[in-house]
Amino acid sequence: MAMDFERYKRMNDEKENFREIPGATVDHVYRNNACGDGYRIFLKLGPDGRIEDASYTTTGCGFGLAALAVVTRLVKGRTLEEAEGITPADVEADFEFPERRRNYPVTAVEAMRQALELARRGPAEAH
């Protein structure tokens, strides 16, 4: 299966979930040391502990944007435990990255897992 360049372009044009969440439960800054991209992950938890909303901002390229769009979509509606089970393979199942860009699903999942860990620790740690 080859990368869908038309979908990639749409994902970059539409910027799904690319925004800050006012009053977010978690506001986590992540630095991708491999390429220098900066990610900021926002999570809003509901009273039942499920992820009501998830978003991101990034200083990175289109591949980072695509990976973050997918991972934020995948965590919505899940519990922290369910969201922690998301893998780079789950991101790749939604959107196939070219071989030399397969590090982007890995870093998007790593950034999300760090945000989920902050959510688990509670409000004092989440920002």
Q: Could you tell me if residue 127 is inside a domain?
A: no
Tens of pLDDT, residue by residue over 39-53, are: 999 999 999 999 999
Label residue 117 exposed, middle or buried (CB < 10 Å: 0-12, 13-18, 19+). Answer: middle
Q: Could you tell me if residue 104 is inside a domain?
A: yes
Its sign, for the CA torsion 38, 115, 113, 54, is negative
Which of the four pLDDT bands, split at 50, 70 and 90, describes residue 8? confident
Give the structural domain span for 22.
5-121
Q: Could you tell me if residue 33 is inside a domain?
A: yes
Q: What is the CATH number of the domain that holds 107?
A: 3.90.1010.10
Chain centroid to CA 5: 20
Tens of pLDDT, residue by residue over 77-110, are: 999 999 999 999 999 999 888 888 888 999 999 9
Instruction: Enter the pTM of the model.
Output: 0.91
Tens of pLDDT, residue by residue over 51-83, are: 999 999 998 889 999 999 999 999 999 999 999
- Report residue 4 as tokens: 């869908």
**From the CB of residue 14, how many other CB atoms can be counted at a distance below 10 Å?**
11
Split into its structural domains, the chain has a count of 1
Q: Could you tell me if residue 126 is inside a domain?
A: no
